[in-house]
Structure 1
Amino acid sequence: MKVAVLSPIAWRTPPEKYGPWEQVASNLVEGLVEKSIDVTLFATGTSITNAKLAHVTDKGYAENPAIDPKVWESLHISNLMEQAGNFDVIHNHFDFLPLTYSRLIKTPMLTTIHGFSSTRILPVYRKYNPDNYYVSISNSDRHPDLDYIATVYNGIHPDEFTFQKNASDYLLFFGRIHPEKGTYESIQIAKQSGRKLIISGLVQDQDYFNEKVKPFLNDDDIVYVGNSGPKERDQLMGEAYALLHPISFEEPFGLSVAESMMCGTPVIAFNLGSMSELIEDGKTGFLVNTIEEAVTAVGNIASIDRKSCRKAALSKFSREKMTESYLQVYHQILNG
């Protein structure tokens, strides 16, 4: 079986820091290589992989402002499509745009839908649904207008996340600094809990950061440490008392939730989107609806067994589990 995996090119695959779609694509590719699958990764030239690598640009457009995103995305996608006949399956992690090529090639294409950035992209998914195979990353993120071949949870490499039996006393916010991710709410939860909060993530909304986050920052109880890479992430998550995830949107998955649990760190999340699929309330964390409920949950974190968090993450969100699930989907597609 020859598989082409199309990764985004905002960042390299895997990303040095932020880049969840690139991270998932990387985890899958390396998992497939370990199973002796012939894989070609279409990504940036700076990408790191044990598979074959095909690229049209060295750096991603988020890392190189000199290149135009639309131009290089077009060149990147067409580079794969012009070679489509060399593969048995194309696995698209690039959202809706590659679907517009699907009726021009014979190779079947599987698209992992990493959430819907807007309802305005749905016409493309609807149009090409009869000719394509869609995978959702959680059951909660399935759109009623679309047909899916499977739900496959994102997988992470357990070796990249160290289990920490004993935690420190700080709370952690880890993710995009954006209103929908709840950085401000995390600050309020920490303050009302009387605990230190460490904030790590890419500033995606500068005005929000300036108005809702920056005024609270100090070198004492509310600390921003920037956009952390894998080593810093492992330490921050592993030593945290709990991860705070007070989202205000229907999040399709939440990679940091799985990563935190892989370190043994429980998660307190607002019960929206996929959170009830990722977190077992009272066992691997707490599902809450308000800041007040989250504060209460912080007081109950000691009742969570950190080994249970690691065990749950291994069983549901490992790279091995994701790879096996996608291989089953590939065989299902090829066997008709």
Structure 2
Amino acid sequence: MVVPPWLSVPPPGYGGLEQTVAGLVDALVAGGHAVTVFGAGEHHGTDASFVSTIPDLQYDRLGESLPELAHLARVNHLIGPSDFDVIHDHTTIGPLLAGRRAVPTVATVHGNPVGEYGTVLSDTDQGVGLVAISHAQRRLNPRLPWVGTVHNALDTPGIPHKRIPAPGPVLWLARFSPDKGPDTAIRACRAAGLPLVLAGKCNEPAERRYFDEVVRPMLDDDVTVVLDADRRAALRLLIDARCLVMPIQWEEPFGMVMLEAMATGTPVVALDRGAVPELVRPGVTGLICERADELPGALAAAIDLDPAACVAHVAERFSTARMAAGYEEVYRRFIAAAVPGGVREPARVGLR
């Protein structure tokens, strides 16, 4: 399992990719597989073996290409054909370099496969298979070498949840970006006469600039701002919220925060973009709006949705065991297609 060098697995706060990978790794280990995670830093919190390619996490260099390139080059030097049956890559540019490996590689696409990222993915080596995290994401670029679609998941045992609807504020929980629509959230809550908590990741230059230029001038006493909350604080905010608002302005490829909200018993009110219809059951675990002017009414109505239905939906449809089973099927099919005769000698496991 190859992860980017930016954050630990699982992450202490923001990091949907790392959170998903942590759940997948532990579910695969629980299923009897020997798994090794290749990442950065010294800390990891999964049941797998861990190999670090560099002592320090590279989060302060997020956005640069060289840290990830160097990380992947080190990974490729460490992996031999007798070590593993399959490599699962979660990095952005890993699909470009995976063709140099003598081990079959599947790569999960965590972003939208269009624009410059789509150009990179279109040059994926023919020996690498891409996995989508939603059908909506896959439809954006159907010509890519997809080998499967597996929804992300959430390890729900241990996540606290409410048993009755909470009359608290509406919660917006995302990174501060125009794609996530915090300005739309403010306008919708004001129109509904409801207080709003904006809990956002705001530690990159573009995020801080957007917050200062667009969001800050809109603030008033009806909006509470929480910046860079850790995971425990975010869960508390979710539990206390009447609903999570997702006024997304782009084709969201998944949206882990929606699973987190529903797992705590908090319904989701969202615009119908990207993977939203694949995650939210309208009228049961949330309300999906076609237009922004429908949001105020939906925010008011969300208080009538049953928290237990939200919790059950995530546990049934988006469990880590279900995600692991989906990837197991992808691994087996891809190995069978990549290895002549579909047979491969058992790998030596336990690489340290």
Report the TM-score when normalising by structure 1.
0.91
Contact 2:112 2:251 in 1 (8 A): no
Aligned AA (1:89): V
Task: Report which stretch shifted further, 196-205 or 181-190.
Answer: 196-205
Contact 1:216 1:222 in 2 (8 A): no
Offset at 1:196?
A: 1.3
Aligned AA (2:267): P
2:63, 2:313 → 1: CA distance? 42
Matches for 1:160-171 after TM superposition, within 5 Å: 160-166=158-164, 167-171=166-170
Aligned AA (2:65): K
Offset at 1:160?
A: 4.6
2:125, 2:69 → 1: CA distance? 21
Aligned AA (1:292): D
Cα 1:208–1:70 change in 2 (3 A) is closer
Moved over 6 A (4+): none
Cα 1:299–1:100 change in 2 (3 A) is closer
2:37, 2:45 → 1: CA distance? 10
Offset at 1:324?
A: 1.7
Say what the alpha-carbon RMSD is for the aligned residues.
Answer: 1.9
> What percent of counterpart residues are identical?
28
1:195, 1:8 → 2: CA distance? 39
Offset at 1:162?
A: 1.5
SS of the residue 2:124 aligns to: helix
Task: Report which stretch shifted further, 161-170 or 182-191.
Answer: 161-170
1:148, 1:68 → 2: CA distance? 26
SS of the residue 1:38 aligns to: coil
Aligned AA (1:84): I
Aligned AA (1:192): A
SS of the residue 2:188 aligns to: helix
Offset at 1:117?
A: 6.5
In structure 2, the partner of 1:78 is: 73
Contact 2:113 2:137 in 1 (8 A): no
Say yes or no: does 1:274 pair with 2:275: yes
Offset at 1:115?
A: 2.0
Which of 199, 206, 209 lines up with 1:207 in the alignment? Answer: 209
Say yes or no: does 1:295 pair with 2:292: no
SS of the residue 2:47 aligns to: coil
Matches for 1:1-336 after TM superposition, within 5 Å: 5-45=1-41, 46-62=43-59, 64=60, 69-85=64-80, 86-95=83-92, 97-116=93-112, 118-128=114-124, 130-142=126-138, 143-166=141-164, 167-203=166-202, 204=204, 205-217=207-219, 220-336=221-337
1:113, 1:304 → 2: CA distance? 33
SS of the residue 1:232 aligns to: helix
Count of aligned positions: 328
1:171, 1:123 → 2: CA distance? 38
Offset at 1:132?
A: 1.5
Aligned AA (1:193): A
Offset at 1:56?
A: 2.1
1:307, 1:68 → 2: CA distance? 40
SS of the residue 1:36 aligns to: coil
Offset at 1:69?
A: 4.2
Q: Deviations over 1:230-261 (max 9, x none)?
A: 21121111221000000000010011011101
Cα 1:289–1:212 change in 2 (3 A) is farther
1:252, 1:113 → 2: CA distance? 9
Q: Deviations over 1:184-218 (max 9, x none)?
A: 11111111111111111212522221122223445
Higher relative contact order by CA 8 Å / sep ≥ 6: 1 or 2?
A: 2
Offset at 1:129?
A: 5.5
Name structure 1 gaps, 5 residues minimum: none
SS of the residue 1:233 aligns to: helix
Contact 2:96 2:123 in 1 (8 A): no
Report the TM-score when normalising by structure 2.
0.87
1:123, 1:221 → 2: CA distance? 43
Contact 2:168 2:242 in 1 (8 A): yes
1:285, 1:215 → 2: CA distance? 30
Name structure 2 gaps, 5 residues minimum: 338-352
Task: Report which stretch shifted further, 240-249 or 326-335.
Answer: 326-335
Offset at 1:121?
A: 2.7
2:63, 2:128 → 1: CA distance? 29
1:112, 1:58 → 2: CA distance? 25
Aligned AA (1:232): A
SS of the residue 1:91 aligns to: strand
1:126, 1:269 → 2: CA distance? 31
SS of the residue 2:278 aligns to: helix
